[in-house]
């Protein structure tokens, strides 16, 4: 699933930046927790968190929201550094 791959890439990138997702944390809670540390990406992170909550608990997946989620993941991957700056 392309969306799941994009979310996994985002999780890996953020883990490399010391913003790893905790084991019992949903994607939405994780993004809400770390958004304050990334002010320029905060809006995209919070939008992705909101969409993830809607998709996870919806009876049927909304293709337009899934497309937006993939685009937000790609945007964040472009904007975030690849590794932590010392």
Q: Is pLDDT above 80 for 84?
A: no
Instruction: State the chain's mean pLDDT as an integer.
Output: 93
CA 4 distance to own-chain centroid: 10
Spatial neighbors of 72 by CB under 8 A, at least 6 apart, are: 44, 47, 48, 51
Q: How far apart are CA 27 and CA 59, in angstroms?
A: 18
Q: What is the pTM of this model?
A: 0.91
Spatial neighbors of 9 by CB under 8 A, at least 6 apart, are: 73, 77
Centre a 10 Å sphere on the Cβ of residue 85 and count the other Cβ atoms it contains: 6
Provide the percentage of residues in the chain whose pLDDT is more than 90. Answer: 83
């Amino acid at each position: 699933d392309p969306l799941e791959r994009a979310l996994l890439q985002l999780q890996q990138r953020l883990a490399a930046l010391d913003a790893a997702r905790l084991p019992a944390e949903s994607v939405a809670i994780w993004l809400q927790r770390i958004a304050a540390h990334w002010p320029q990406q905060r809006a995209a992170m919070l939008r992705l968190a909101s969409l993830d909550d809607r998709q996870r608990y919806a009876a049927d997946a909304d293709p337009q929201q899934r497309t937006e989620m993939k685009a937000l993941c790609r945007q964040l991957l472009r904007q975030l550094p690849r590794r932590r700056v010392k």
